Chain A
Amino acid sequence: MPKQSPVPDEVDKPFWDAANEDRLVVQNCIDCDRLQHPPVAKCPDCDPGTNLEWKEMSGRGRVYGYGVMYDCPVTILAEDQPFNIAVVELEEDPGIKMLSHLPGTPVDDVPVGAAVEVVFEVTPTTGQKVPEWRVVG
């Protein structure tokens, strides 16, 4: 599904740059040894909270849950309705969650708990790649 192109900013540029290289990275607070997503300028759990790094993930996860969009406000997604929006949790830390359209999975037939792996999808406007997820096996 063609998506809006995300415009990276100072904080999350490494996340989106990695996506363009088909790599999934997640921000990590070195002092707390804790992953954080979406990216933030400062770790919310410690001070000054700026000892942050980017950790490469395996790209494996699981479907946590989902909903099916029928009345989507985003114009360029509207003609693809209805479509799944799943919440995926990462293998390294199920607390870290990302959204996915689950390309290849039929609408409203989402296998909750199933294993997924990351794929990288090009967005049409700028070519920026976006992490997406496919059910495996």
Chain B
Amino acid sequence: MPTQNAPASMYRSTEGLGIWEHKGKVAAVGIGHSPTARRWDETTDTSLGAWSILALRRAIEDAGVRPDEVDGLVMAQETSTGSPWPSDKPIPEDFLNTYKSTDNPLDGIARLSADWILMNMPELTNVNFTMYGPGCMSNAVVTAAQAVGEGLTEVCLVLKGWHNFGGRYYVGQGAAGGNTVTGPGKYSTLWGTVACYTTAMQFEAYCRKYGKNHDMMAPFVVNEKRNGLMFPEGFWAQHRPEVLTVEDYLAARWIAKPANLFDNDIPIMASAAYLFTTPERAKDMKQKPVYILNVASDRTRVRSFGPTLEEAEAATDETGRKIYEGSGLSPSDLSFENMYDGFTLFHQFHLEGIRFAGVQRGEALDFYATDITIEGPNPASPSGGNAGAGRTRFWMHTDSIQQIQGRAGARQISKPAEIGVSGGPTPTGGNFTVWSSTPG
């Protein structure tokens, strides 16, 4: 049977479910990352497929298991950041000669199926559980955690890859270049909205509601870029080690005011993989286990055009309550937060939703003016997120695991990294994970 998307029943998307039944019974152990690139150079060994295999092999090696011990694979099929492979362009010959193909010629190039991975990783001889956690790593992580908890797999790889191709695929391309519009765009892009427009509109409403302004975002974004430059796996650290100053941020051009250039992230290519297992199996592995204390999902249905500020706040409040209900924790238990930041202008919804460092609604931008660095008492987004390391939506998870394992290198927070939370992507739709140095 072809690999299926995780069923809705595997997600903890409502309140009132109590403590997660698998609290402390699932652990992340291994981490593997590919290099990063701005765009694919069309050579085989930097392809989406090659880099995804590389990330998986590194996660296996990092955990110190044999490939034949792996019995599960949870991943996302989608790998697009918006960039399509042109329909009239042949797949490079060398790629086709190097890898086995599925019946979809774009497999390993512009999408990834579990079949493609397993066909091209012959060392994975005992994988008997595969599942898609669609969209991003946040989804794959909660799906894999639930799967290990339910006993569907004991040694599970979790994978997310991203491709990005050459050429412009955004401004004036495709539907945006036409004189007519079909589909959902009739109610949005018809007016010229860009991806960050809705977040910009929410942020403007937020500033009006609480008497804040866009300049107050500068310390957060500067801190994101600083943390990102200390993330050797990340794009900016590898390719463009540019320090962002408050002045740079305040002078940046608008994309959709009040969202500027630095409130948006840069599309890149990269793959990351984790190895999840049970605490019992983790005892024999190479790295310190990071226990998962809860997984929670948000499935907000937006009423009309939006989400609005009110919908974003209600959804992230609910997410916060779910995170604490299922883990039995409270905000003061968090050593750090790694909630999603792509766009930077919605990070405060997530941060306030979990009441990180006691921050209440409307207080996040004032909180950003306090010490939110990795050295301080309240490390905010120590991963640097998408803003600091490129658009992958997985830095927050990698960093959370590394922080608690004590392997975050220059980014290691000064206070003890005991418990952290990561997840996203959007305030009104995402998946969230609570990580801990101990099982309970």
User: Residues of A with Cβ closer than 8 Å to B?
Assistant: 3-7, 9, 12, 36-38, 44, 64-78, 82-83, 85, 87, 95-101, 108, 112, 124-126, 130
Contacts and interface: CB of A to CB of B under 8 A. Distances in A.
A7 B185 CA distance: 10
Contact of A98 (B177, B187, B197, B308): B187
Interface in B208-264: 208, 253-259
A6 B190 contact: yes
Ranked 6 nearest A-B pairs via Cβ: A68-B257, A125-B179, A67-B200, A70-B254, A72-B192, A6-B186
Nearest to B261: A71
Nearest to A39: B187
Interface of B: 170-173, 176-184, 186-194, 197, 200-202, 204-205, 208, 253-259, 301, 303-306, 308-309
A112 B188 contact: no
Contacts of A125: 179-180
Contacts of A76: 179
B204 A65 contact: yes
A85 B308 contact: no
Contact of B181 (A7, A71, A101): A7
A97 B180 contact: no
B302 to A, nearest CB: 10
Nearest to B302: A97
A43 to B, nearest CB: 12
Given A4-B181, A67-B256, 19 more contacts: A3-B190, A4-B179, A4-B189, A5-B181, A6-B186, A7-B182, A9-B183, A36-B304, A37-B305, A38-B186, A64-B308, A66-B201, A67-B258, A68-B256, A69-B193, A69-B197, A85-B197, A87-B201, A99-B191
A72 B194 contact: yes
Contacts of B258: 67
B186 A73 contact: no
Given A73-B170, A85-B192, A44 B301 contact: yes
A110 to B, nearest CB: 9
Contact of B304 (A72, A77, A78, A97): A97
A74 B197 contact: no
A124 B200 CA distance: 29
A69 to B, nearest CB: 5
B172 A71 contact: no
B255 A70 contact: yes
A74 B180 contact: no
Contact of A71 (B189, B254, B305, B308): B254
Contacts of B186: 6-7, 12, 38
A83 to B, nearest CB: 7
B305 A130 contact: no
A136 B435 CA distance: 53
A124 B173 CA distance: 20
Contacts of A72: 192, 194
Nearest to B253: A70
Contacts of A99: 187-188, 190-191, 193, 305
Given A12-B186, A70-B256, A72-B192, A65 B305 contact: no
A7 B180 CA distance: 7
B180 A67 contact: no
Contacts of A82: 254, 257
For A6, A12, A130, the residue with the greatest tally of chain B CB atoms inside 10 Å of its CB is A6
A97 B303 CA distance: 9
A74 B176 contact: yes
A37 B304 contact: yes
B190 A75 contact: no
Contacts of A87: 201, 305-306, 308
B54 to A, nearest CB: 33
Contacts of A73: 170-173, 176, 189, 192, 194
27 contacts: A5-B181, A6-B181, A9-B182, A12-B186, A36-B304, A37-B305, A38-B187, A38-B304, A44-B301, A66-B201, A69-B257, A72-B194, A73-B170, A73-B171, A73-B189, A73-B194, A74-B192, A78-B172, A85-B193, A95-B304, A97-B306, A98-B187, A98-B304, A99-B190, A99-B191, A99-B305, A124-B179
A38 B187 CA distance: 7
A96 B304 contact: yes
A65 B179 contact: no
A95 B257 contact: no
A66 B183 CA distance: 23
Nearest to B197: A67
